[in-house]
Structure 1
Amino acid sequence: MMKNLLKSVVLTTSLTMGITAATTGLVGIQSVEAATTVKISKTAYQTTDNLNLRKGAGTNYSRILTIPKGKTIYATERKGTWYKVSYTYKSNNKSVTKTGWVSGSYIKKKSTSSASTKASSTTTIKKTTFQTTVNLRMRTGPSTNYKQVYVIPKGKTVTSKEKKGTWYKVSYTYKSNGKSVTKTGWVSGKYIKEYYKYTSTSSAYYWTNKPTKLYSTPDRKKQALASVGTNNGYRSTQQVVNSLGETWYRVTYNGKNAYVYSKDVNKYSTKKIDQTKLTATEDTYVYASYGRGSKKLTKVTEGDTFTSTYMVGKWYKVSLKGDTGYVFKSEFKATEMEVLKEEEIASKTHIVDVNLNLRKSPNEDATILGTIPAYKIVFPTHKVSNGWYKLTYGGKTGYVSGDYIQEVKTGNPLTTKKSYQFIDLRTKSPVKASQINNYIEKYVELTGKKSVLTDKGQVFIDAGNKYGVNPLFLAAHAIHESAYGTSAISLGKYNLFGFAAYDAAPYVSAYRFKNVDANIEYIARELKATYLNSSNWKHNGYHLGFTTKTMKNARINEASEGMNFYYASDQNWGKAIAAHMQKMLPYDHSYYSKAEPNTTVYTSPSIPSGSDKFPEEILAVAKQSLTLKEKKGSSTTVKTIKKGTEFFIAEKTNDFWVKIVLEDEVYWTNDIKLHQYKEYLSVINLGRSKTEALNVREKATTANNTPINKIKMNQYVHIVLNKDNKPTMDSSKTWYKVELPDGTKGWVSAQYIALELK
């Protein structure tokens, strides 16, 4: 199923759809449309070569005339890289003006005055990280007059240490053929913003190491919220690296979020300890929290004693007449030291959150045996009673604090990367159509199920070779996503890859294709244009790869790679597809180590025509205001319905327009986002048959009750509503009353009906 990057939604093993990036996410697949014409201020340009003036924005349009090199022209419109211009010249002592289109590759903007050409001075700035807000041209100099070096994709980060006017000299690093490539040039400051990287962390505790200021943002741009003294403790679950590379921690101060600079604090862990007797060595206080800036609960006299079983950094947690308080370690003597217990645990996969010291014994003061790099996978063998773990790394056995490791789920094989999981998916495969067909046929024979993939091996090979996508991978991908071509979406919509099938409403949201061949070719091109295109935001490697996730299913980006990164929520998705490939044709490392990738880049295919048409009188209720249009594709709102309004839903198209009927009038809307449709509407009585031929009976029973009709697999069903506008069921709640297209009413077994958009 599809996953959605926009709203931080965990998505399934399908292509992500077009969702504007916000968070997370899910951003998404959008159809590639022809460039639109944009009006621009009248601007003077100079031709850099003899240049053809054409009747339209493209070389396929006929030539009007050839403008000589060095002539002045005036542009008023732009369409992609083409400009609509006027050119005036003398003919028979008369001025003649011609208007048409020219390629922007052979013109340069003319300076309007000496003042405008005067270069601003170059300024050195502190190294700053920015994020691009559009696909941004990098140039050889600080203006649009300079040659383009590279196009940096939207959402990528760049660094700068120099600016000139509103332009910044930046460095951008990206991966190409497995190697890091760095480009340096100038970009307009209008299309970049300072980049702050916010990261959720495990709960950690920090103490001020000097008088320190707290700020409302992770920088010093605003006046400090407060000034605090030394040895004040704060709990943090978020780390921020600001645009200047400074690390800050989010903490809570007087009930509000605040930020403290990392160099102003020291990090300490929390730990359970065996019961320890504490004796005050001087007059002091019990504090309400772990810091001298917190409220003083009671005065302590030298010689007073407490007991503790827990520490937060250098503070002991104690009990005081039923209340909880904290005392500072240096003001007390621990007369009974903790006795640690160590027990063997089942081996489970963990990941290291930070560069972590491996120590000789389970405490912060023990000898360091080595350092485990951040995001390495480890396998603890023992757990210590103070929360530390025993493990082996780099041939050395020692202990690490449990505050900095967490259990994870990962598709990383950890052993070898010589498998289909790590091949370049742009290479050809020596697989034969018969090998693909036989693999699918064995499943069909074993299960007795009908498959739309029967004898489609050659289609995968042809589509893969046409667009430069490994045909064996393409077949394995379809087999995995469609259960060998037997899934409801593949049978009902010829959609083998779960394209646009959101978790929330997979069948309704999925694209409908005219046939299997069209779907396979569509996906081959779409994959080459997005996941296998280094300029696309969905690209994170040319291989299947894997993801690593927390036990709460949050992806750990630094330990995830390949198509699996954005394509699938299942961390083993890449491994599963590689397994299908292996079964059809065993992996040959000698072949793939020499295979050359197809580097041709394609644009995404346009959205295929197709729609889901629903039975009449399918009742829906608006969950929020919806704007209605008179026609599909219109931008003009003709009516707005409020939350709670009832209407009939009639059709959903592949481009996610929904046709509705309100008060006998037909309207269209594209407000409803199916990946989270429950925020927009609820549908009361739309069913879908889940079986090959669903019997419709006159009564709600199979006893002495001959079927009066049949409903096909995946056919949408109109469930009759009762007087309370709820689906009509029999007394046993196991049958639905339905109405067929011809008006006939009958009963069907509820176990074979899926309620859609409920």
Structure 2
Amino acid sequence: MGRFLRFFIVMALMIGIFIPHSASIEAATTETAIVNVSSVLNVREKALSNSKKVGTLKKGAKVTVYSKSKSGWSEIRFKSKKAYVSTKYLKFSAPVKKTNINKFAKTSFQTTANLNMRSGAGAKDRIVLMIPKGKKVTSTEKTGNTYKVSYTYQSKGKNVTKTGWVSGKYLKEYYTYTNTSGTYFLTKKTANLYTSADTKKNAVSKISIGNVLYSTQKAVNSLGQTWYRVSFNGKNLYVNSGDVSKDTLKNFSQTTYKAKKDTSLYASHGNAYKNLLKIPKGTIVSSKQRVNNWYKVSFNGKSGYIQIADFTKQAVSTDKKMTEEKLAKDTMIVVTDINVRKTADVAAPSLTTIPKDVFVFPTHKTANGWYKVVVNGKTGYVLGEEVITGDPMNNRSGYQFIDLRTQSPVTAAQIDQYIANYVKATGKRSVLTGKGKEFIKVGKKRGVNALYLAAHAIHESAFGTSQISLGKLNLFGFGAYDATPYIGAYRFSNINSSIDYIAREMKSTYLNPNNWKYHGAYLGFSTKTSGNARVDALSEGMNFYYATDPDWGQKIASHMEKMLPFNKSHYNKAAVHTGVPAQPSVPAGSDLFPKDIVAIAKTEIKYGQKGKITQNSPKIKKGTKFTLLEKTNDYWVKVKIGSKVYWTNDIKFHEYTKFVSVQNLGRVNEDLLNIRQEPNTTSKSLAKLGLNQYVQIVLKKDGTLTMDKTKKWYQIKLSNGKTGWVSAQYITRELK
């Protein structure tokens, strides 16, 4: 090793520099030799026969040779100084090469079996002690797959630390997870979110400064870094503690605010979350709760969060007449003791008080989110945020509350008949026709109620007639996003695999008591505020997380009842299957696009070989055109840049408009669509397109779509190179 490299490593260790990855430190190669002379061997200062003699070595003496010259001299150490002897008087044993030592940042591991600690890295070295299974050790270096570790244990009331070598075969990186009370964190810089509490995989989301995340778990990884598990857009992800600071939820007196400009209502505390709707300039909203600069409000039937910088505090006049919308019959329950005001304003006089948990029946809703009610003969207004929809007093009988890990006596014929009745009444084609037997088979195999499984599929796929179920054989919309419902959805190879996938997914998550999604192994219900925010204390079962519709559980139960009337005695004695299968991985499948689909990068997009994208991968520059070829179920996209083909996973489909704009990709939304020779219905039909088939719309030189003069027909290019015309009303633009 050169002096400079040795100096760098020593200095790096002294000042705490972490050498990226692992630094391999290799000692120089030496040889052992024995002096082979009749008397003594002269040791000289230099590699010359006439050089000064500094001593002698007896026959049989062992020496270490550091190098040999072509002129016949060997370099040794004599009295700790460099010296030389004639090579011809040495007898060499096999050369010895010192072990490679890989240094790395201090890492914690856990033993996966009872493990011997040895005095050295060799399998024959002395055993120091045995480390029990499940114990924590730390390490900073290894050779091959043998780690030098430190292990601390108690002996006679004192901590004892031993250091030695163990096999890496029986080590796993040690992460600790601690559940915490719900905590808000503010991003203090652009923060990356990861699927685990480390940076081993690429970040799946990036959040700008000033957004708020909510956490109920702290993780310390094997490197000692602290991370928080946060909820973001329906997913559990991890953020590094260094990227956020703790914040708090604050309540204050009801205050009204007026929008200074057109702005947005977001699903949570930040502009990184889904934009629910536009709030026009001049709109008046009210709030009494905030986290940092994000205030909770209700507007147009939706509850969300506003950036307070876009608003000014506003005093609402009690004389001003609010527009009122008449409501259909509705039932609501009061969340807390509330005042009935004379007008729809917190400053208006109180007419009476409604106690908590009393039902009210509003007749109108005002433009600023209040409800008009009649209480004890007095007509007044209650604030929308203080009443909730849903039915927490629901009768807990029937399919909505059975354990879905039990078996049903339903027959395949009963399931098939229910689906057949729908098909006959609507005339639609269904991929669920004749699948009753498969639901029963999968239900028994996976320990899931087959009647529920069929009802769930029927509800989510409109009896197997939805476009996603017909085009992708995906009965449950798995993988679909609001922004990309069809392209985002997983593609299954057949209906049977789709049924089996949902059974395993539900059993391993929503019906698994050890999973964070579990809130009871039954359908249950979700209770919402008038602004559509879930009330956790009054929400139960799968409906807690699975669907935003508070009546989702009721609707699934209704399908079950129609297939087979509920029999309480059966479920009182039905056995519960508590086994938990492994959560299924993303199924194999791809969307293949027509030949020349043009896309434009709206930001830099990393690309390379599939599965090998890193922070250092090359990037498609913003504004660059490229060709879209394929999208896989795990969201890898095959692209052509120039004449070469690559892959990227840098396009996030839940917010694709930030990454890409696709110019000419269409999807047929009507079965057997005619391709016409000219843009009219009387022209000759060249061929027919199937439902959900992707098409290439012809682009003009200026990049706009080729349409007829009426703008009602697209010109498309077929796989054989010919062109034709299709009615634009039957083409859905994708990723535009």
TM over 0.5: yes
SS at match of 1:537: coil
Pick from 447, 454, 460 the counterpart of residue 426 of structure 2: 447
Greater displacement, 346-355 / 579-588: 346-355
2:711 matched residue in structure 1: 733
Distance, in Å, in 2 between the alignment partners of 1:46 and 1:484 is: 51
1:196 matched residue in structure 2: 248
Pick from 708, 716, 723 the counterpart of residue 694 of structure 2: 716
1:348 matched residue in structure 2: 330
In structure 2, the CA distance between the partners of 1:43 and 1:349, relative to structure 1 (3 Å rule), is: closer
Task: Give the superposition deviation at 1:474.
Answer: 0.9
Distance, in Å, in 2 between the alignment partners of 1:642 and 1:134 is: 24
Structure 1: 5+ residue stretches without partners: 1-37, 54-64, 89-95, 110-126, 138-153, 159-165, 167-188, 206-234, 243-251, 260-268, 274-308, 311-343
Pick from 315, 318, 330 the counterpart of residue 272 of structure 1: 318
Distance, in Å, in 2 between the alignment partners of 1:389 and 1:381 is: 6
Distance, in Å, in 1 between the alignment partners of 2:475 and 2:109 is: 52
In structure 2, the CA distance between the partners of 1:44 and 1:617, relative to structure 1 (3 Å rule), is: closer
User: Is the 1:434–1:457 Cα contact (8 Å) retained in structure 2?
Assistant: yes
- Report matched runs for 1:389-408 at 5 Å: 397=376, 402-406=381-385
Greater displacement, 535-544 / 508-517: 535-544
2:729 matched residue in structure 1: 751
In structure 2, the CA distance between the partners of 1:271 and 1:425, relative to structure 1 (3 Å rule), is: farther
- Report matched runs for 1:416-495 at 5 Å: 416-495=395-474
Distance, in Å, in 1 between the alignment partners of 2:387 and 2:451 is: 31
Pick from 287, 294, 304 the counterpart of residue 237 of structure 1: 287
Task: Give the superposition deviation at 1:611.
Answer: 0.8
1:41 matched residue in structure 2: 106
User: Is the 1:546–1:564 Cα contact (8 Å) retained in structure 2?
Assistant: yes
Query: Residue type of the partner of 1:487?
Result: S
In structure 2, the CA distance between the partners of 1:84 and 1:571, relative to structure 1 (3 Å rule), is: farther
User: Is the 2:479–2:490 Cα contact (8 Å) retained in structure 1?
Assistant: yes
Distance, in Å, in 1 between the alignment partners of 2:196 and 2:636 is: 31
Distance, in Å, in 1 between the alignment partners of 2:396 and 2:675 is: 54
SS at match of 1:451: coil
Distance, in Å, in 2 between the alignment partners of 1:750 and 1:647 is: 25
SS at match of 2:169: strand
User: Is the 1:630–1:637 Cα contact (8 Å) retained in structure 2?
Assistant: no
Pick from 135, 145, 156 the counterpart of residue 216 of structure 2: 156
Is 1:599 the counterpart of 2:649? The answer is no
Distance, in Å, in 2 between the alignment partners of 1:566 and 1:477 is: 15
Task: Give the superposition deviation at 1:270.
Answer: 7.6
Pick from 96, 102, 110 the counterpart of residue 170 of structure 2: 102
SS at match of 2:657: helix
SS at match of 1:615: strand
User: Is the 2:672–2:691 Cα contact (8 Å) retained in structure 1?
Assistant: yes
User: Is the 1:429–1:472 Cα contact (8 Å) retained in structure 2?
Assistant: yes
- Report matched runs for 1:551-700 at 5 Å: 553-635=532-614, 637-700=616-679
User: Is the 1:197–1:240 Cα contact (8 Å) retained in structure 2?
Assistant: yes
Task: Give the superposition deviation at 1:536.
Answer: 2.9
1:535 matched residue in structure 2: 514
In structure 2, the CA distance between the partners of 1:193 and 1:530, relative to structure 1 (3 Å rule), is: farther
User: Is the 1:83–1:102 Cα contact (8 Å) retained in structure 2?
Assistant: no
Question: How high is the TM-score relative to the length of structure 2?
Answer: 0.59
In structure 2, the CA distance between the partners of 1:725 and 1:370, relative to structure 1 (3 Å rule), is: closer
Task: Give the superposition deviation at 1:237.
Answer: 1.6
Distance, in Å, in 1 between the alignment partners of 2:444 and 2:660 is: 43
1:320 matched residue in structure 2: none
Distance, in Å, in 1 between the alignment partners of 2:501 and 2:147 is: 34
Give CA-to-partner distance per residue, 1:665-694, whole Å, 9 cap, x none: 222222211122122222111111223322
User: Is the 1:130–1:192 Cα contact (8 Å) retained in structure 2?
Assistant: no
Distance, in Å, in 1 between the alignment partners of 2:116 and 2:397 is: 53
Distance, in Å, in 2 between the alignment partners of 1:45 and 1:585 is: 51
Query: Residue type of the partner of 1:41?
Result: K
Task: Give the superposition deviation at 1:552.
Answer: 5.4
User: Is the 1:410–1:572 Cα contact (8 Å) retained in structure 2?
Assistant: no
2:355 matched residue in structure 1: 371
User: Is the 2:679–2:725 Cα contact (8 Å) retained in structure 1?
Assistant: yes
Task: Give the superposition deviation at 1:564.
Answer: 2.6
Task: Give the superposition deviation at 1:436.
Answer: 0.8
Is 1:501 the counterpart of 2:483? The answer is no
Distance, in Å, in 2 between the alignment partners of 1:433 and 1:487 is: 22
SS at match of 2:501: helix
SS at match of 2:395: coil
Query: Residue type of the partner of 2:334?
Result: V
SS at match of 1:709: strand
User: Is the 1:359–1:399 Cα contact (8 Å) retained in structure 2?
Assistant: no
SS at match of 2:646: strand
Percent of residue pairs identical: 44
Q: How many residues align?
A: 522
Distance, in Å, in 2 between the alignment partners of 1:135 and 1:756 is: 28
1:30 matched residue in structure 2: none
Give CA-to-partner distance per residue, 1:586-618, whole Å, 9 cap, x none: 122333344443332333211111111101110
User: Is the 1:349–1:408 Cα contact (8 Å) retained in structure 2?
Assistant: no
Distance, in Å, in 1 between the alignment partners of 2:668 and 2:371 is: 54
Pick from 483, 495, 498 the counterpart of residue 516 of structure 1: 495
Distance, in Å, in 1 between the alignment partners of 2:570 and 2:116 is: 48
SS at match of 2:591: strand
Task: Give the superposition deviation at 1:718.
Answer: 0.9
In structure 2, the CA distance between the partners of 1:508 and 1:613, relative to structure 1 (3 Å rule), is: same
Distance, in Å, in 2 between the alignment partners of 1:607 and 1:532 is: 19
User: Is the 1:628–1:637 Cα contact (8 Å) retained in structure 2?
Assistant: no
In structure 2, the CA distance between the partners of 1:640 and 1:388, relative to structure 1 (3 Å rule), is: closer
SS at match of 1:583: helix
Choose between structure 1 and 2 for higher RCO, CA contacts under 8 A separated by at least 6 residues: 1
In structure 2, the CA distance between the partners of 1:190 and 1:648, relative to structure 1 (3 Å rule), is: closer
Query: Residue type of the partner of 2:289?
Result: Q
Give CA-to-partner distance per residue, 1:334-392, whole Å, 9 cap, x none: xxxxxxxxxx997533453533368999999989877214xx652246999xx896556
User: Is the 2:676–2:683 Cα contact (8 Å) retained in structure 1?
Assistant: no
Query: Residue type of the partner of 2:461?
Result: S
In structure 2, the CA distance between the partners of 1:449 and 1:408, relative to structure 1 (3 Å rule), is: farther
1:17 matched residue in structure 2: none
Distance, in Å, in 1 between the alignment partners of 2:195 and 2:618 is: 36
In structure 2, the CA distance between the partners of 1:559 and 1:745, relative to structure 1 (3 Å rule), is: same
Query: Residue type of the partner of 1:101?
Result: K
Distance, in Å, in 1 between the alignment partners of 2:476 and 2:699 is: 35
In structure 2, the CA distance between the partners of 1:694 and 1:404, relative to structure 1 (3 Å rule), is: closer
1:144 matched residue in structure 2: none
In structure 2, the CA distance between the partners of 1:445 and 1:631, relative to structure 1 (3 Å rule), is: same
Query: Residue type of the partner of 2:606?
Result: T
Larger radius of gyration: 2
In structure 2, the CA distance between the partners of 1:358 and 1:443, relative to structure 1 (3 Å rule), is: same
User: Is the 1:358–1:398 Cα contact (8 Å) retained in structure 2?
Assistant: no
In structure 2, the CA distance between the partners of 1:191 and 1:742, relative to structure 1 (3 Å rule), is: closer
In structure 2, the CA distance between the partners of 1:744 and 1:539, relative to structure 1 (3 Å rule), is: same
Question: How high is the TM-score relative to the length of structure 1?
Answer: 0.57
Query: Residue type of the partner of 2:454?
Result: A
Distance, in Å, in 2 between the alignment partners of 1:497 and 1:551 is: 28
